[in-house]
Amino acid sequence: MTFVSPIKVTRRSRWSSELLPLICILAVCAAVMMMPVAIVVGTWGDHLSLRQEWTIKGPPCPQVAKLSIFAIGAKPPRPFTYKGTRFAAQVGDVYCEAVPDPGWFPRTTHAVCQFSRPAGVEVTTPTRHVIYEPGIGRPATVAVRNGVPSCVMGGWFEE
């Protein structure tokens, strides 16, 4: 009488014993090496979107030597400082952002501030003092690049 074993003993293939662990290790290494690439691409995308989003088109704001009585109101506007530039606006709200300068990966930014409805905006940089008077109820966007302010009437600021 011969005895037949119900368990079949087979040799493991080379695929499962040697190649599968190697492929898994290579996949984990590739994933780890892709993390810095993903961070760089994400940062670059954020820089591009900030630049596009904060590039406001519109007619230039009227520049005046002194604010009119309607722009000043009962008391002078309260100033605030953002990125080394002093701003003052009488009416409405303001939102500022540090927008990356042009280039692939700039290390510098410039200030862009949107005003919801300023009657007038005073901008003082270390080298210049400028007064813009877009008018009551009109949005205005002021950008300061290399200490030089510019203003356009327009913006997407909502209260």
pLDDT tens column, 82-96: 999 999 887 788 899
Does residue 24 lie within any of the structural domains? no
* Distance of alpha carbon 16 from alpha carbon 62, whole angstroms: 75
The number of distinct structural domains making up the chain is: 1
Adjacent-strand bridge partners of 113? 96, 142
SS3 label, residue 115? strand
Confidence of residue 10 (pLDDT cuts 50, 70, 90): low
Does residue 5 lie within any of the structural domains? no
Q: Give residue 126's domain range.
A: 54-153
Predicted local confidence at residue 65, as pLDDT: 84
Predicted local confidence at residue 41, as pLDDT: 77
Does residue 43 lie within any of the structural domains? no
| Alpha carbon distance, N-terminus to C-terminus of the chain | 95
The DSSP-derived string for 50-104 is HHHHT----PBPPEESS--HHHHTTSPPPEEEETTEEEEESSS-EEEEEEEPSSS
Does residue 27 lie within any of the structural domains? no
